[in-house]
Amino acid sequence: MRKQFVPILSAFAIIYSCSSNPYAPTNKEYKKQAKVFVKSLTDIPPVSEIGKPAQYPVGTVNFNLRKPNYVIIHHTAQGACEKTLSTFINKKSQVSAHYVVCKDGTVHHMLNDYLRAWHGGVAKWGTLSDINSVSIGIELDNNGNEEFPEEQIKSLTLLLSKLKKDYNIPSSNFIGHSDIAPLRKVDPNAFFPWKKLSEYGFGNWPDAILDSVPDNFNSVQALRIIGYDTKDSLAAIKAFKLHFLQKNNDSYLDDSTKMILNNLIKKY
């Protein structure tokens, strides 16, 4: 009689676990997709068809996983954290991020850090044109026109501390979506506390005392040194001002802004 209850209890446990976790179906799909990558990674590379064929396959024993070297910060521009989660588990959306940080400080780790999320889109920073392959994407629940709650920033700071330590990410490599895609994006918005985060070592910020700008100062070249894509220099200026001035989001560079730009190129 007791044996008859075992499958019943097992079935009940499965049903209960699925009903208690609304993301159980997509978590199952996550594991299914990850297994495909696991298999491809554990298979020994076959004999190459390029050049003279080798007699037999041979795999090196000296390797590890590639690691991310940039962190890209976004705001969701959606009404609620749950809506963003829903977007990222919908295959039709074709977008994702490694982390989503809600306003109450809840952190959702949605993708293994070593896997490539689809968060940067068409973007460029310095000579990098495939940002997704070298970065971790973090989405902050924010409609794009509001301040970021203290609990949210506190959780973000803790997360950034862990990522910086785990992957030895340079301070300069914590940037925003608008920095890498100035023609398309304006996130995180002007309320994002870049200065505060820079004090913890996440991103650069200009010094309090600034030197005068040389007569031959080239603003576009300076933007390029920092990392901005200057194909559209006006868009690059706007993105720079959104990040480092967080006001007057236009394409005009006055003397004080040039002084900030001149100061920052020494940090990149």
Active site includes 146? no
Contact 74, 177 (CB under 8 A): yes
Q: What residue ranges in the chain does DSSP mark as E strands?
A: 70-75, 99-101, 107-109, 135-140, 174-176
Contact 97, 74 (CB under 8 A): yes
* Counts for the chain of helices (H) and strands (E), in that order: 9, 5
Say which of 29, 49, 82, 139 is annotated catalytic: 139
Q: Is-cis flag, bond preceding 22, omega within 30?
A: no
CA-closest candidate to residue 76, choices 49, 53, 102: 102
> Is 233 exposed, middle or buried, given 0-12, 13-18 or 19+ CB atoms closer than 10 A?
middle
Please list the active-site residues.
139
